[in-house]
Every structure is written in C-alpha cells, then in structure tokens.
Chains A and B, each alone.
Chain A
C-alpha cells in the first residue's frame, strides 16, 4: 500500500541499502557495465567536450592557414580534410551528444526518478557514439578522413570524385551517431512521459525537460532522413548503385533534399536544449517562474514543427522553381516568431524578477547578445535574392556560428557553471568564470563578425586560400586573432573547473536557490538520486514545496525500483524494476562497431557484425538470476511493493 505521509527524517539504514543497490561496480568491468544515468550522462559530456577541443584545434589550423593570402601552411588536401573534420566533429560528435548528455543527466533528476527508462540502452547509446567518434578519428590519422565537407554533396562525394575510404567513413560515422541519438531520444521520451513523480502533471514539467522532449521527437523524425541520405551514398560508393548518378536516372539534388530535411532540424536539435538551459538559469537568477509557461512550451513545439518545413532554404541557389522556393522563404521567416516569443517572455521574466548576476547569467546575457544577431542574419538569408548573393560565402559561416555558438554554446557554458556545484559539490571560481565569459564574448565577435563583411565582399566558403588584392587579408587576420581569445576562454574555463573540483568552496544543495527537483538533493547527488520518490505541488518544485511535502513510501530499497505514473497528471500507477549492471551494452557496441567499420571495406563484415550483435542481444536480454527469482516470487504473490490499482494519494494538509 502506498502511503504519502510525513515521516521522521532519519533514513540512514534505508539509505545504506539504497547505496548498495545502486552502487557502481569497481574495476574496468565495472566501469564498462555501468548503467547509472548520471555516470553515463557525464561520460557523454566529457567525451563530447574532448571532441569539442579536437574540433577547436581543427578550427585553429584553418585560421592559421587563412591568415594571409596564398599561405602554404596547409595544402588543399589537408585543408579540405580539416574543414570537413571540423564541421563533422562539431555537429555530430560534440553539439548533439553534449546536449544528449545533459538530458540524460538532468532529466531523471528533474522528474524525481532514479534512472532513465532503459538503462542498458542508455549505456549502449554512449558506447556506440564513442566508437563512432573513435572510428572517424582513427581514419583521420590514417589519412583517410572525409574531404567533401560536413554535408558531403554528391557528386563530389560520390565514387568517382572522392576516391578512397574517406567519405565512406563519414557516411558510416553518421550511422554510429544517429543510432546514439535515436537511443537517447527514445529513452527520454519514455522517461518523461512515464516516470514523472506524482504531482508533476504535464503543465508542471520544467522547461528544460520540455526542450528535451521536443528535441527527442525531432531526432526521431529527422535522423531517418540522414540515415537514408548517407545510406544511399554508401550504396552508390560501395555497391555501385546509381541513386545519385544523373546519367542513369538518379539525381544529385535528391541527396541535398534528404540531407537538409535532416540538416535543418539538426541545428534546432542543437539549439533548443540551449533554450532549455536559458529557462533554467533565468528561473534561478530572477527568483520567479518564467513568464508565459504555456507560450514557452507551445513555441518550443511550434519551432520543432516549423523546423521541418524550411530545409529548401539551403538550396535556394540550385535553380529550383522560384515559386516553390518562396514558400520556404515564408516558413523560414515564420520560424523567427516562436523563438522571438521565447525571448520576449524571458525579457518579461527578467523585468519582473529579482535579477542576480553570476557567471551562468553572464553566459545567458551573451546568448541574447550573440544569438539574436544570428537570428537576424538568418532572416536575411531567408530572403531568396539576398541568399543568392551570400549563400556559400563567409556570411553564412558567420550566421551559423552566431546562432550555434550564441544559441547553443553560450547557454551550454552557462549550464556548465550552473550545474557544476551540483555535479561536484563545490563552487567554481567566480572571477575565472567572468574572465572566461568576457574572453569568449570578445573573442567570438572579433572572430566571426568580420566574416559577415568578408561574405558580402565576395569571399566564398571552404577555400583553402585566397588571392592577395581581394581586400580580404586584414579581415582574415582579425578573424584569426579573435580565435586566440576564444581558445584562452576555453582554457580558462577548463582550469577553473579542474581546480575548483578539489579546491572550490563547498556548495551545498542549492547555492543558487533554484527551483527544480535536483536542487533538493545534496551535491553531488547520491547515486540513487532520491531515497523516496518526491512529489511536487507546483511548477517550481522546490519553491512550491510545502515544509511537509509528501513523498512516496512503500517502494523497495533493495531493488532498482522506479515508480511509473500516468501520462497526463502523473498519478502513481505501478512500479517496475530496472536492470542493474550489464556488460552487454558495451559488447553490443563492439560487435556493431566491427560490423559497421568492416562493412566499408568488405560487405561480409556487416553480416559477421550482425551475427555477433545477435549473440550480444541474446546476452543482453538474458534474465539475471535475481530477475528470475523475482519473477517466481511475483508469480507467487510474495514480492511486495505497490499493488496494481489506484491508491489514493493522501495529504495531511493542503498548502
């Protein structure tokens, strides 16, 4: 029988049992068998950040090459590999996985549950992503990096014009990362709809969690398109099909349509979690809920829908019929509105809140300053005639760095600082935080603002060098100089975090007086998150909690038990048991990696990999001894825990 009751605070014995139930196993096997969401989430974040550094080094190499006209620092072959690696790393190996990592880490905490819905799948998603990145970089070291750009247009990326295994590597890396993305998307959707703590009806879900739901649905609909686009490319290159061969009835534009049908939602997948970060940070630093919750949620959903209707704006110069293209101008302009409404709601929140300043909020201010510029240059690019002039020039490079760095990176760095005390239990150094912010803001603008001018002045994209006398030299020097500041900013932030992890001031549970559930836990949170599943009484879980806020009792401490609630109003429904440690996700990632990596060389590896993966899946689903025991006990009715049915949630007092 579930009771929601006020209970005395000391649960040392129960906590010890929970610790043991959820504990990580030691050693290498233990590390590879981990299924806890916080550990996996942090691995995503750390790995993605390392790829970010790699992408940054690639960018630095590009900026050195472009310092002066006809520079010989990098030849065309090397430069083409490096800019392709930079784009592919940043888009596929950093931006999406780091947002996924934050989702995996934060969403169960914000929902009041112990883990994501499918812990083994979660671990698998991480390993397959890691292997995809290692695959790409190993091929890079073997001089077999892709060279056709991060979106790899055919026929340049086709079998005739890109010899070797570079583009095949790119296409297969997409498979790894898209599987990882789909895995996280599916589990976040299920976790959010089925594992919210009682009281957290749909209209009380934190805005960050809404952003992750929206992103998850976008991933589910967008990833298949790139799967097809890259799959067809692999077929053309490895099997000899003619899907993109015009002479035999294929069409290079088919690739562009399919790629950008994914590609445009991809950038929203990257930037919408940033919007979630901004909402979380602003709630804490204004001391009030974000104004216009319904508008905030609906604009996220509308942005997601509209994000699927604008892809042809990447193709305005291809000679498609102009009337058709104009519809995409309209949609690309329309998509400004929902994000604009979000911005106005935030401004309204700041106006009426008690606005405090610290590093996370500085990064949010940076978001406003930078992202809005990017959004406005996006408005310019939505216009077909203007796009005809600036498409494929440095103007577009400036635009997308303003929206991606402004819209995703600034909020992400703000999120790093915001949740750092929760992860580590210690405060970062505020001085170093401010320094890293100002270095980034200044460095970013010095690097990328001149690129708007470069584009208007005729400098195309993806050029490994340029002619003297084109009047581009000085602006390129400026852009390269700004990159130094950006590098220093990231370095400062890394030092800040590494030092503060050990030596920072102890943070306590809620140093920011923030509102979501994770701030009610000690810092860092216990491995099991919540000893008892909490309940919420309002949108701002911590602020709206009564002093005697009820929590759920009657669940087992000696099993990894989670509470499943109903979709609309989060009423308790039943309990389920989650699996514990398992090496099988890692094993499956290895077998899939063998299959996918080998397949670009010799088709039978695909079959070998599939057979091995089948064996790994058998291992994955084989019930453990404990699960068998529990099954038998449950059959006999001796397992205990929640009964099926609708227990009445009982409250002592109404607030």
Chain B
C-alpha cells in the first residue's frame, strides 16, 4: 500500500513532459542557445559546447500544437507550404541543409539563411521560435509520435514523396 502511494506521488511529481502546458511561458523558455560555432577559434578560453539551453520544448505536445498555429500565422507555409516545400525547401524530407538539431533549426529561424529565409530573431519572442523549432522537427519526424498531432483542422496538402 505504502509503495503504491509512493509511486503515485512520484508519478504526480514527474508528471509527463509531453503533457506540460506552459500557458504563460517561463523564463527558461526564453533563453537563447549558445551560438553554434562554425570554427575552432574563440577569443579566450574555449567555452564548453554543451552549455546553453537545448530545446526546452522537446517532446512537448502543447509546444508542437502552438508551433503548428504559428507556422500558419507567421506564413511559414507561404514558402514551405505545409511541410512539402515549394519556394522554400521541404521540411518533411530527410535533407536538412543547415542541420536538423534543435539548435540548428532555432538558428535558421532566428538568424535567417541565405537564399530567402528571413531572420525572425527580435521580431517574434524567443519562446515562439522554440515552439516553431519543435514543430518543424515534428514535421521532420524527430519528435515522439505521441506528442505530434497527425493532422490539422485545415485543408491538407499532400505529403512529400518519401526519399529513396
């Protein structure tokens, strides 16, 4: 009896990261990641690569759902359509020009990329960039299936062809 009670308490405390719903984003969600270093030279002692936040919303269903909303509202679908690509590259295939890790995608959205990807940093809050990052990763299949919704309430675009 006592053991099951302890288990219940632990379960309740740990809860479930997927089911966290931060309706008012916490400070930790607004931290920018450490820069993705493109070379070896640093002015001063080398900073550890692993510091800085990775993705506070990894595996979080609410963030993916918000990211889906923002993807449409900020007109990412204008170039990337619903993940299938068009003017911009597809987000559902296996090819990630600038990398598929959360920090890579965050940087892509925040700083922009050559050939047409605008830089959203400073225009939208950092936590929203994290939500978009998580949604884009979900489009690419990197997020747990349990946290990702299989469809939206809108007209569906066809999925991109599977890579060979």
Contact = CB atoms under 8 A, between A and B. Distances in A.
- A touching B, CB within 8 angstroms: yes
Interface of A: 75-77, 138, 141-144, 155, 158-161, 163-166, 236-242, 245-248, 601-602
A143 B19 CA distance: 6
Interface size class on chain B is: 20 to 34
Nearest to A137: B8
Contacts of A242: 151, 156
Given A142-B15, A142-B16, A237 B23 contact: no
A241 B152 CA distance: 10
B149 to A, nearest CB: 4
Given A143-B20, A163-B61, A164-B62, A240 B12 contact: no
A45 B61 CA distance: 37
Nearest to B155: A247
Contact of A163 (B16, B23, B145, B147): B147
B11 interface: yes
Contacts of B162: none
A601 B146 contact: yes
Contacts of B21: 77, 163-164
A166 B19 contact: yes
B32 interface: no
Given A77-B23, A163-B62, A602-B145, A143 B15 contact: yes
Contacts of A75: 23
Given A75-B23, A163-B61, A238 B18 contact: no
A163 B11 contact: no
B153 A158 contact: yes
Nearest to A144: B19
Contacts, number: 79
B18 A165 contact: yes
Interface in B8-50: 8, 11-12, 15-16, 18-21, 23
B92 to A, nearest CB: 14
Given A160-B65, A160-B68, A245-B151, A165 B23 contact: no
Contacts of B151: 159-160, 236, 240-242, 245
A158 B154 CA distance: 12
Interface in B106-164: 145-147, 149-156
A141 B19 contact: no
Contact of A160 (B12, B15, B153): B153
A159 B152 contact: yes
21 contacts: A77-B23, A141-B8, A142-B12, A142-B19, A144-B16, A160-B68, A161-B65, A163-B21, A163-B147, A164-B18, A164-B147, A165-B19, A165-B146, A237-B150, A240-B151, A242-B151, A245-B151, A247-B155, A247-B156, A601-B145, A602-B146
Contacts of A159: 149-153
Contacts of A245: 151, 153-154
A163 B156 contact: no
Contacts of B8: 141
B64 interface: yes
B35 to A, nearest CB: 31
A70 to B, nearest CB: 16
Interface of B: 8, 11-12, 15-16, 18-21, 23, 61-62, 64-65, 68-69, 145-147, 149-156
A243 to B, nearest CB: 11
A160 B73 CA distance: 14
Contact of A248 (B18, B23, B64, B156): B156
Nearest to B14: A142
A155 B153 contact: yes
Contacts of B156: 242, 247-248
Given A163-B149, A164-B19, A141 B65 contact: no
A142 B16 CA distance: 6
Contacts of A236: 151
Contacts of B149: 159-160, 163, 237
Nearest to B63: A163
A20 B18 CA distance: 53
A287 B73 CA distance: 72
A247 B152 CA distance: 10
A486 B154 CA distance: 46
A141 B11 contact: yes
Nearest to B15: A143
A132 B14 CA distance: 22
Given A159-B152, A164-B19, A246-B153, 10 more contacts: A76-B23, A141-B12, A143-B19, A159-B150, A159-B151, A160-B69, A163-B62, A166-B19, A241-B151, A601-B145
B153 A164 contact: no
B19 A239 contact: no
**Most interface-central of B19, B145, B153, B155 (chain A CB within 10 A):** B153
Contacts of B150: 159, 237-240
Top 10 nearest A-B pairs (CB, nearest first) are A240-B150, A163-B65, A159-B149, A163-B61, A164-B61, A143-B15, A143-B19, A240-B151, A144-B19, A247-B155
A394 B125 CA distance: 39
A248 B65 CA distance: 20
A209 B68 CA distance: 54
A241 B69 CA distance: 19
B89 to A, nearest CB: 23
B83 to A, nearest CB: 13
A138 B15 CA distance: 10
Contacts of A166: 19
A330 B11 CA distance: 51
Contacts of B69: 160
A562 to B, nearest CB: 39
A160 B152 contact: yes
Contacts of A76: 23
A161 B19 contact: no
A239 B150 CA distance: 6
Contacts of B12: 141-142
Contacts of B153: 155, 158-161, 245-247
Contacts of A138: 11
Contacts of A160: 65, 68-69, 149, 151-153
Contacts of A77: 21, 23
Nearest to A168: B146
A238 B146 CA distance: 9
A522 to B, nearest CB: 34
Contacts of B11: 138, 141-142
